Structure 1
Amino acid sequence: MAIAKTEAPASKSGTACLRCVLVFLAAVAASLILVSVVDQVSWAQRGYEASVYNGSTLRSWRELARPAYPRDDSWLPMIEALEVARSPDGDRLYEKVFFDDKVKFQYPPTSLVYLVALEPLGLTSVDALNAINAALFAATCAAFAYLVLVLLQPASTQSMSLRSWAVALALMLAALFYYPAMRSLEIGQIQVWINALFTFACIAWLRGARPTAGALLGLAATMKPQLGIFLVWAMLWREWGFLRGFLAAGLPVGIMSLLLFGVHNHITYLNVLSFLAERGEAFFANHSVNGLMHRALGNGDNLGFHDHVFPPADTRVISMTFVSSLAFLAIALVPALIEGGRRRPDLIEVAITALCATIASPVAWEHHYGIMLPMSGIALGLLCSEPGQRAALVWLAASWMIATNYLPVANHLSDTWLNFVQSYLLFAALILLGLLLYLRRVGVRSEITLPRDQAVAATAPPSRAGF
């Protein structure tokens, strides 16, 4: 991805930054409308029959109001697992649920602690959990808008102009229609919680509250173990405040999980992770290197999801999954290994690490990429604040348009050598990763300084990267 390095050191005016965002989001909205119109015409030609070849983000929102299936993608396996954990088979939770009954409960035991905590409040029904999801999704949309606005105009977010409020509304609408994020809401996924925690962690980091950022990501890691990479990341960067927050939030949940579910179930969960690393998923909604390889080799069902079946193990898929995962983890951790102690990481490093952890997973469903929403917002805020970034903004627009649109039309290529196009979300993520690496390389400012930190900042050497 060839992007010329900016040479103009001066930042844009606030008005120019806001105009840049509005134009950008208008282009994204146009792509949503265009894809929806094309889908509607194609769907009409098929007699409005449901199929894996039709659908759009706008249609998904309409269907969210009248779902055709239970919104219990996370909740049902979690509820079943908790019931087993309290049964006579409770000391062999994963042997019973995952390996014997073949229920795809793929979360760590720590994830069940949250259901236990919600039980006394009567909030463990599917409807109650989806209501929590709706509240968290709305909060995430608002937080996303705030995150971008702070990056655009850090000094004026407390006295916003009419144009600023218009941009805030446009950003919230963009978040509402960001398909991977709204897909979590549509199917009843705990990923909504992870997206919210990550978005608020980005805001906390941006505002200088690194222990709080660590605590929020520590909680996210108890639901999504891939984010445990931040434990190693923090140690390599010597980010002790972040690390203290991460442990202060994550350890109590881990201890409670051990007391509730026993050591054996936590050890056995490693067998589940090993199994998933070997098998992955061939279904087109798995936008990982693993899924791409399965589909390219015709190994497993491309167009159908099976609740109790995984694709056969294939040495070529396993090898490519392992190598690619190592490569993405290296992208996240090698800079910390080399530069830890010599400089402090900024928000861009946080985004790169979380994105690499997501892409490196053998199973990366569409909704897992909801975490890209705040990352894309970070890139948008930084690029619109700097002059001479038109090429980079075009690349970001391409990534955003691909990610925000549900594109099942790609499934027409499922039985051809072009079926790699079905992994369009993976390619959107790779474009975004390239942009974040570019922003890291050119040293674009990605932090703000609060008044209470100004005395400390004044003694630090000047840096356009924040630290």
Structure 2
Amino acid sequence: MRTYGRGKAAASVLYWSGMSPRHSDPAHGRRLLLFVLSSLVLSNFVPRVLFKLFGWGNPGSIGGMVHDFWTFRTWTDSWLPMMRSVDYFLQHPTLPIYYAPLYDTLIYSLASILPLWALKKLGMGDVAMLRFLAVTSWLALVGIAGVALAMGHKFLKARGVRMTWETIVAVLAAVLFCYPLLKGYSLGNAQTYLSFEFALLLLLWSEGKEAAGGVVGALLAFVKPQYALLLIWMAVRKRWNATIAFLATSAVLLLFSVIVFGVHNNLDFLHVLAGLSKKAQSHYGNQSMFGTLNRAIGNGENISYTPLLYTPYIRWVYLTTVSTALVLMGAVLLFPWGKLRASAADLAAMGIASVAASPMAWEHHYGIVCGVFAWVWFAYGCWQHKRPWVLGIASLFTMNAWLAFNKAAPYHGWNIIQSYMYFSALLLVVVLMVLARKVTRGEAEPVI
């Protein structure tokens, strides 16, 4: 086993790796911890030092988000339109919900607000409900760490390797300081729940509990419609238990939604979806092809943000966004996954594609990569003979905040580096595909 020197933080990141197959040396935990800590130093402290030396101002940090998390403080990005939609319906049960004069419009299906409707009917007030949402989304974020550790326990135990305290600390640090997760929690966005659900989906799938995975997939899709692509994936992969569970759960959710909110309100969601296909924003937080192209040509806002101000429509940008989305989804569905076909790796790639293909893929939407990285690392990464450099790079730029790249905002074309999270997520899909080829060729051990 090679050891690490005492190089700079950058060298520490480059020299992270896994252990050889079947070894019981606990070094894999130390290496993971070193990588996680080095990543946090590189992304949060090194830019501040450089910006101060060159007089470039403040590069930004996750400090405020960390404070929000540990003090149970959230904003109301998702919560307010969801709560106000419930209030509007209770006051005006015959009027269309999606056209209510709220401060912001509801963009989720009505089934997603059924829990809030139930809490309102039980007499919970707004303050108590916001507190409830803050606490439960906090628990969801912590739950992602729990799921990641459960994955680690499963794969390490299967190979006769114990989980060390270094591994536990590394996982907790990676999740609790993950930029997309902290951003979603701080905003008060429903994505925090979805990131937990996706991690749980990967764990269930790796344990062969495909029907339960189908239920979780449906819950994801009824908040973010792009996750309906998971149903297509399940059907194409002929995972019929999961497909049936997905459809059955969807039917139940839709039935309850129709009973509570009526047929007309639920049908209005189709018009919302049609409108969203051409409405997106070019703010740097939109880590998608749409955001990348518009920022590159200087169309719309970049650093500043104005709610409900959508980027002016440009036909070729829209067509390119749609084309790349179709290519990405087609690549995942048609790729010859070999021995990993219909595996958690295949499913993870489809989940990432579901996010990245959207014209509006905010930074916090990439919180699902936490579960993906946990699966890849414990299932394969820490057993590889060669150091997984590409996986490390994808993790470094997907899970951490590189807000210093916003310095490139005024430089059209060059400012594509602001889309580091989008490109790194695509790189993670490539990692999964390469892994599938290695397993199929016998160059890596099959997943346990």
The TM-score range, normalised by the shorter chain, is 0.7 to 0.9
Cα pair 2:286 2:360 within 8 Å, conserved = yes
Give per-residue Cα distances to partners, 1:279-309, cap 9 Å, x unaligned. 2111110001111111112111111221222
SS in 2 for 1:286: coil
User: In 1, are the aligned partners of 2:205 and 2:344 still within 8 Å (CA)?
Assistant: yes
Q: Normalising to structure 1: TM-score of the pair?
A: 0.82
In the TM superposition, what whole-angstrom CA distance separates every residue of 1:432-464 from its partner, at most 9, and x where no partner exists? 11101111222279xxxxxxxxxxxxxxxxx96
Name the structure 1 match of 2:5: none
* Aligned counterpart for 1:23 among listed residues 31, 34, 50: 31
Write the mapping of 1:18-417 to structure 2, written as runs, cut at 5 A: 18-41=26-49, 54-58=59-63, 60-62=65-67, 64-65=69-70, 71-88=75-92, 91-97=95-101, 103-119=104-120, 120=122, 122=124, 125-154=129-158, 156=160, 161=162, 164-335=164-335, 345-390=342-387, 393-416=388-411, 417=413
| 1:66 Cα deviation after fit | 6.2
* 2:317 alignment partner AA: V
Cα shift readout 1:343-380 (whole Å, capped 9, x = no counterpart)? 96111111011111011111111100000111111221
Give the distance between the partners of 2:71 and 2:193, measured in 1 at CA: 23
Tell me if structure 2 keeps the 8 A contact 1:181–1:367: yes
* Structure 2 match to 1:3: none
Offset of 1:130 from its aligned partner? 0.5
3-state secondary structure, aligned to 1:153: helix
Where 2:262 maps in the other structure, the secondary structure is helix
Change in CA separation of 1:197 and 1:343 when aligned onto 2, cut-off 3 Å: closer
Counterparts of 2:427 and 2:111, CA distance in 1 = 33
Structure 2: which 5+ runs fail to align? Answer: 1-18
Q: Structure 1 CA distance, aligned partners of 2:182 and 2:291?
A: 22
- Aligned partner of 1:274: which letter? A
Distance in 1 (CA, whole Å) between partners of 2:145 and 2:125 is 23
Q: 1:196-249 CA distances to partner (integer Å, 9 max, x unpaired)?
A: 111111111111211111111211111111111122222222211112322333
Question: Would the alpha carbon gap of residues 444 and 117 (structure 1) be closer, same or farther in structure 2, given more than 3 Å must change?
Answer: farther
Give the one of 401, 418, 423 matched to 1:422.
Answer: 418
Alpha-carbon shift at residue 149 of structure 1 (Å) = 3.4
1:388 partner letter = H
Q: Deviations over 1:393-446 (max 9, x none)?
A: 11111111112221221111111121101111001101111101111222279x
For 2:381 and 2:29, locate their aligned partners in 1 and report how far apart those are by CA, in whole Å. Answer: 7
C-alpha offsets along residues 14-67 of structure 1, whole Å, 9 cap, x if unaligned? 434x4234313312311212332234446768999xx8x622235531354469
State the distance in 1 between where 2:55 and 2:78 align. Answer: 32
Mean CA deviation greater in 82-91 or 195-204: 82-91
Q: Which moved more, 1:21-30 or 1:287-296?
A: 21-30
Contact 1:57 1:404 in 2 (8 A): no
For the aligned residue pairs, the C-alpha RMSD in angstroms reads 3.0
Q: How many residues align?
A: 424
Question: 1:126-161: CA deviations, max 9, x gaps?
Answer: 1210011111111111111221332333255xxx84
Distance 1:344 1:400, change over 3 A: closer
Q: Which residue of 1 aligns with 2:429?
A: 433
C-alpha contact (below 8 Å) 1:90/1:261 kept by paired residues: no
Is 1:13 the counterpart of 2:9? The answer is no
CA distance in 1, matches of 2:53, 2:64: 16
CA–CA separation in structure 1 for the residues paired with 2:60 and 2:404? 8
Q: Residue 454 of structure 1 corresponds to which residue in structure 2?
A: none
C-alpha distance in structure 2 between counterparts of 1:259 and 1:325, whole Å: 35
CA-CA distance at 1:325 after TM superposition: 1.2
Paired residue for 1:6?
Answer: none
Secondary structure at the counterpart of residue 15 of structure 1: coil
| Structure 1 position 79, deviation (Å) | 0.9
Q: Which amino acid aligns with 1:430?
A: L
Distance change (3 Å), C-alpha of 1:213 and 1:371: same
Instruction: After superposing the two structures, state which structure 1 stretch, 109-118 or 423-432, moved more.
Output: 109-118
Cα 1:104–1:398, aligned 2, differ >3 Å: closer, same or farther? Answer: farther
CA distance change for structure 1 residues 90 and 330 in 2, over 3 Å: closer, same or farther?
farther
Report if the CA contact (8 A) 1:205-1:213 is conserved. yes
Q: 8 Å contact 1:146–1:168 — kept in the other structure?
A: no
Distance 1:305 1:221, change over 3 A: same
Deviations 1:306-335 (A, max 9, x none): 122211111122111110111122123235
Structure 1, unpaired ranges of 5+ = 1-9, 446-462
When residues 12 and 121 of structure 1 are mapped into structure 2, their CA distance, relative to the original with a 3 A threshold, is: farther
Read off the aligned partner of 1:357 and give its amino acid letter: S
Deviations 1:41-98 (A, max 9, x none): 46768999xx8x622235531354469x85211101111222223343754222335x
Matched AA of 1:432: L
Q: Quick check: 1:36–1:59 contact (8 Å CA) kept in 2?
A: no
